[in-house]
Amino acid sequence: MLTLFCYSILSSLAFAAQNPCDVKLGSHEAVTPVSRDSDWWMPRHNAILERIKQGNVDIIMIGDSITHGWEKSGKPVWDQYYANRNAVNMGFSGDRTQHVLWRIENGEVNDINPKLAVIMIGTNNSNGNDNTAEEIADGVKAIVCQLRTRLPNTKILLLAIFPRGTAEQRKIKEQDASYNDQWAKNDKASKLFSKIADNKTVYYLDINKKFLNKKGELPRDVMPDLLHPREKGYEIWAKAMEPMIKKLTKEKQK
């Protein structure tokens, strides 16, 4: 009985979620909060600050250009799924984990109490040798730590970093993207940060296979530049995420 009891305890410890706050801010680039000097970037940040001052924020979506694109290619899908849900788009084209950390530190989640935060970030960190998979995972963990600290009542839906083409693949017109080193780096980072999901506050969702064709390639009819979804890609994203959004916001299933 004692042996069985000890095994049970060890098993539960083995599957316990990692603490996202174990990552030390400033220990490397991906976890060092910093702003950007693009002429549109600070005005967008300020516009989000003005939006959240109005209240009625139930869902926030945090990310880079892929999330930002809900306002462009994805707008018809956003209007269908999120326009009536008090959702705020906090996606910034070109952002990396360190930029999201700066935005959080500088007011983008102040004085709000959303039901849900959706995070999909990290692909820009994977460019070249800028960051390792471990560093990207640290950056995502640091973001989750900040959100859990500042928004203790908010559920967090953490998405695996989406599949993508390399810079070389993206240059070749009409060719879909096969699995590649950058895609693999993002997959590794996603597996690493998935370990912080406790299925109580933080939930992890990998929808990546839904974007792929039967060959396991990323097709241009979903992401024309092998990075950013067209409307069809946003539709795939929204449908794949919808059951979890309803669950975590406690909406009635239709």
Residues 24-80 pLDDT 10s? 999 999 999 999 999 999 999 999 999 999 999 999 999 999 999 999 999 999 999
Please give the CATH number for the structural domain made up of 20-249: 3.40.50.1110
Q: How many CB atoms lie within 10 A of CB 5?
A: 9
Which is higher by pLDDT, 232 or 253?
Answer: 232
Cα–Cα distance between 226 and 231 in angstroms, integer?
14
Confidence (pLDDT) at 16: 78
> What's the token pair of residue 28?
């490397």
Residue 157: strand pairing partners:
118, 203
Q: What does each C-alpha distance from 171 to 74, 168, 174, 177, 227 come to in angstroms?
A: 23, 5, 9, 11, 12
Confidence (pLDDT) at 201: 98
Whether 15 has a pLDDT exceeding 70, the answer reads no
Torsion of CA 139, 61, 100, 207, to 10 degrees: 30
The model's pTM is: 0.92
Going by C-beta distance under 8 Å and a sequence separation of 6 or more, which residues neighbour residue 51? 57, 88
Average pLDDT score, the chain:
94
Going by C-beta distance under 8 Å and a sequence separation of 6 or more, which residues neighbour residue 2? none
Domain ranges of the chain: 20-249
Percent over 70 (pLDDT), the chain:
93
> What's the token pair of residue 22?
């174990």
Q: What is the pLDDT of residues 185-203, one digit of tens each?
A: 999 999 999 999 999 999 9
Cα–Cα distance between 208 and 122 in angstroms, integer?
14
Cα–Cα distance between 223 and 211 in angstroms, integer?
9
Q: What is the pLDDT of residues 83-101, one digit of tens each?
A: 999 999 999 999 999 999 9
SS (H, E, C) the chain: CHHHHHHHHHHHHHCCCCCHHHCCCCCCHHHCCCCCCCCCHHHHHHHHHHHHHCCCCCEEEEECHHHHHHHCCCHHHHHHHCCCCCEEEEECCCCCHHHHHHHHHCCCCCCCCCCEEEEECCCHHHCCCCCCHHHHHHHHHHHHHHHHHHCCCCEEEEECCCCCCCHHHHHCCCCCECCCHHHHHHHHHHHHHHHHCCCCCEEEECCHHHHCCCCCCECCCCCCCCCCCCHHHHHHHHHHHHHHHHHHHCCCCC
User: Beta 59-63 vs 116-120: how paired, if at all?
Assistant: parallel
Q: What is the pLDDT of residues 136-188, one digit of tens each?
A: 999 999 999 999 999 999 999 999 999 999 999 999 988 899 999 999 999 99
> What's the token pair of residue 139?
């950056």
